[in-house]
Structure 1
């Protein structure tokens, strides 16, 4: 065990032999100072032992022990012939040390011995990421029993590699993470030990596999010799690569150390329930598993059960399966038979006889519904690392619905031939039928001649294919211009082609929340809808091995003539083209397909819901863009400008209409809103909002009663006209008498308020078809209603020319006096009958 040097001082004779020593060697430094009784038959020691950076694994030459660097002192006062007669006490005080890679903080253990039982008064281990404690009694011989309660908490399961030497070189555990807790009770003695324990673990992760929570119960008797009992475990939210489970429950009942019964129940995320039960026996190095029953419940109409017991025999480097036959509630069957794994070779046979596609809901992420009979006959044989496949797989007419993209595929057809190391995709097609028929077809080959670097040549064609329909994200129909091709190998893959978005909608959250805005709140422009979509990804995922080495050559997404950005407020037509690129990889994910470039906002409207549904001014889009930055999610930045014109009466104070511009910025997931005047008028935000609500600037405290009355009429008129559905009338406007108009300026009396109301004009307009427009205007003065009537009829000849015929009353407002008999006084401009021809120029 190596050479140890240091002073050794021995005085006296046993049973009072005084020993003082400190030795240093390969395992570290240890020492003892105290009395020793070395005379048979009873031995004793009373003193203090010390250690400095002591490695017990090296000192005891036991590779089963973890490496350690223990520093501490150990007070001993013990006497006895053997464990059954041992009496006394011991106290261990550990200073800062290292145990199995853990940094150990000061810890302590206090025990005493009597009557063949050790009593643990205190055991507290404090280490970085690990805390353990125990107390109670423990029988040292079979004639004595005890009860020792314990608990341990580990903040990271990655530390298991340090505690268990056999796991130290297991690279698969590099990504192991999660927290765990173990508590329980040891009863009996060292000869007949029983364990009753409970284990909890949360957020366990190992590579792409994860478990949100695990709970287990361990009930074992005679652990050290002939263990019997039960193990019960449950796990929730389990992800095993592409396969996910809501819950897994499993139990094992050990009738003896070599035999037992097992059962398991699994519920996949897609709702497929699987139940298994059977027996285990072990003889020397061979284990036999007999599956007595199995049931797979896809839905009420699709059930599979094990037709006959299956037998699996496995030992080191050897496994056989005689047959596994799952019988459908109809006559369909899934048969796996004659499977043999021996050394590096494998062989077997799989047959499906009209197996319904719904069986695969448990294994295909997002698949919520499926129909169709799969017929297959596949033989596999050859090297384990590179088996060769022979046979055929076909699907005549299937349907499938996917929750992750929101679409339903119909008329799915597949014709796939397997010839050794090559997969021939003769046909793999699907259709959609959302407003119109869409088709997607994939053909080509995949070669596994070099299994670690498969090669492929695949061609995809699409026409009006409804590729995604996710509320709150997008609904898009796509076609391929030039076919999309994927060629090369996993280490040198190349994608080419163009995708055209024929029509569809990209959804934007509502910017203004559905509540009345406080006009005195300076933060009203910053209000956004903070409810973000959990998953805004629309680009498909390429296999990781392909994505790491994928090259994109002129892969683009063109926007067709009917693609819109929409919400309950926005209706904006998009145009342009985007490049398909690769988003940078992350530590856990390879590069991903992403969009890069800018789309234009060509035309459209934005309705600002100020007081829903009463005040909703509509803005016409002038310009804008959506900029994509090469990220895999659909979340471009926004920069869209739209204008609403607040029409002013002809004799308004400022003499001109007021334009209000809304700027939509931020991102698609979190749009933001701002208001401004595009004509650089000195209008505050309060004035702009007041114009939108009342048609006038903010009301001053010193305004006269007539002005307030007129403003009130316009405000109520705006509320009334905005409440009228646009499919009834396209233009509804109330024009009140303008403050400062000499024809209406009277004393501030109740009569003058009434007169101001009578001088209000109503303007109505309706679009008739795609070319005709009819307009009507009239005053509210009852004595002059007919004289004040205006009529306008317009016909759009083309996008450039239009013709208009109109009857107009006098150019100024009528005047009503609050007298016994209201009179009508025309202005100097008489009524007119006119015909006009218009031509539009755009610059």
Structure 2
């Protein structure tokens, strides 16, 4: 058995078996197979009419094959590629599907600069990118042509201490930039589900795109919307949207709401204190002191929970794990009440088209009549355009119950079904 390594991709494929059969007409029949890190099979011929520039006619088949395993990117792929032409002018064609992938956002940012996700006013217009194969030095790549259709059906994630977003899309185009010696991706992926943390508060992803604009390497443009519903004591709940924009290496966050008359500082104040910034300047000293204590607890516990959830998901092999605070506004200060609102969501694919999420509130059992089990959601993709979501949850679960169970207000269970239809123009 043989093995090969591609340091730029972080992979080593071992236990490669097969045969190389030399024929009198200078053709070498190739048959190579490895199934240690997924399955890969290479068949075809190499014609040695020119030893320095042989003719290539190879077919490569992949099944859940480990294509990349770096600190910033991991990916399993399936599909068929053909390698034709000469060694000095090779051409790669075919179709590939991404079975699983993770882009570790913090690693992308770390390779460029120190990025503060909590700075809502940062202007990050400078464009950076992360190389895919630029570090590989080989004459084979100097005149390489690539035309590959890449589909990303689901189970591809953007993950960081603040972000846990699943992407999907049917058609990306992969080419090769010979000047930059790197792969190029063109096309859009949809933000399917996930969460984003701003100032310790978890926002639920409800749409958006991740766009690859044809620049070498990996640095897509982000346009992701995530929603948090803040319960106010003396008013209707406030829906705040976190708009994640910029690029993968330099993202930025802006807050918005449909409610008129609220500026950015008001939204930040609502996220931290539960009230508008103007209300904090009215001399309500007792409230302000309590709000500051609530802010410290919310910010610290929220940030730690987000990082813990990301680490656990990666460590135990879950597709999605989120640890957040279910309550949007603490009626009584202190870390005990904050932890009592802890909500854990565990998500996993069940087959290629079904995704199930179980929700737990492990500390809510301290309240009389409260249940540890918070609910469940099931999403099923009937086709590329239709997705059905069914759920059984507390009526306050999606936006947080604000600790109402401790006041004797029951949290009734509700059952619902949503049907989503996607249109393209």
Q: Distance in 1 between matches of 2:51 and 2:163?
A: 52
The structure-2 alpha-carbon separation of the partners of 1:575 and 1:660, relative to structure 1 and needing over 3 Å to count, comes to same
State the structure with bigger RCO (CA 8 A, min sep 6), 1 or 2.
Answer: 2
- Cα deviation 1:354-374 (Å, max 9, x = unaligned): xxxxxxxxxxxxxxxxxxxxx
Match of 2:151 in 1: 558
Offset of residue 665 of structure 1: 2.1
Partner SS state of residue 581, structure 1 = strand
Match of 1:408 in 2: 12
Alignment check: 8 A CA contact 2:100 2:156 kept: yes
Alignment check: 8 A CA contact 1:735 1:761 kept: no
Q: Which has the higher strand share?
A: 1
Could you state the TM-score of these two structures normalised by the residue count of structure 2? 0.69
Q: Which has the higher helix share?
A: 2
**Pairing 1:661–2:241 present:** yes
- 1:506-525 matches, within 5 Å, as 506-509=103-106, 524-525=120-121
**Pairing 1:672–2:256 present:** no
Partner SS state of residue 8, structure 2 = coil
- Out of 212, 217, 220, the position equivalent to 1:628 is 212
- Out of 408, 416, 423, the position equivalent to 1:839 is 416
Partner SS state of residue 711, structure 1 = helix
Partner SS state of residue 543, structure 1 = helix
Q: Distance in 1 between matches of 2:10 and 2:262?
A: 46
Offset of residue 617 of structure 1: 1.7
- Out of 683, 690, 693, the position equivalent to 2:269 is 690
- Out of 504, 508, 522, the position equivalent to 2:101 is 504
**Pairing 1:569–2:162 present:** yes
Match of 2:83 in 1: 486
Offset of residue 637 of structure 1: 1.8
**Pairing 1:526–2:117 present:** no
Match of 1:273 in 2: none
- Out of 218, 221, 238, the position equivalent to 1:637 is 221
Match of 1:300 in 2: none
Q: Distance in 2 between matches of 1:463 and 1:498?
A: 12
- Out of 55, 60, 64, the position equivalent to 1:464 is 64
- Cα deviation 1:387-446 (Å, max 9, x = unaligned): xxxxxxxxxx1334432211121112353244466241422344443xxxx122222112
Q: Distance in 2 between matches of 1:478 and 1:665?
A: 28
Partner SS state of residue 681, structure 1 = coil
The structure-2 alpha-carbon separation of the partners of 1:691 and 1:513, relative to structure 1 and needing over 3 Å to count, comes to farther
Alignment check: 8 A CA contact 1:537 1:634 kept: no
Alignment check: 8 A CA contact 1:714 1:734 kept: no
Q: Distance in 1 between matches of 2:128 and 2:202?
A: 25
Partner SS state of residue 399, structure 1 = strand
Offset of residue 596 of structure 1: 1.5
Partner SS state of residue 688, structure 1 = helix
Offset of residue 805 of structure 1: 11
Stretches of structure 2 lacking an aligned partner (at least 5 in a row)? 310-321, 347-356, 379-388, 421-425
RMSD: 4.5
Could you state the TM-score of these two structures normalised by the residue count of structure 1? 0.38
Partner SS state of residue 562, structure 1 = strand
Q: Distance in 1 between matches of 2:327 and 2:412?
A: 24
- Out of 163, 173, 179, the position equivalent to 1:579 is 173
How many residue pairs get matched?
370
- Cα deviation 1:176-198 (Å, max 9, x = unaligned): xxxxxxxxxxxxxxxxxxxxxxx
The structure-2 alpha-carbon separation of the partners of 1:418 and 1:631, relative to structure 1 and needing over 3 Å to count, comes to farther
The structure-2 alpha-carbon separation of the partners of 1:802 and 1:664, relative to structure 1 and needing over 3 Å to count, comes to closer
Offset of residue 618 of structure 1: 1.6
Q: Distance in 1 between matches of 2:104 and 2:377?
A: 35
Q: Distance in 1 between matches of 2:122 and 2:359?
A: 40
Partner SS state of residue 341, structure 2 = strand
**Pairing 1:598–2:188 present:** yes
Partner SS state of residue 165, structure 2 = strand
Stretches of structure 1 lacking an aligned partner (at least 5 in a row)? 1-396, 518-522, 611-615, 738-755, 779-785, 815-830
- Cα deviation 1:9-66 (Å, max 9, x = unaligned): xxxxxxxxxxxxxxxxxxxxxxxxxxxxxxxxxxxxxxxxxxxxxxxxxxxxxxxxxx
Match of 1:802 in 2: 392
**Greater CA drift, 403-412 or 696-705:** 696-705
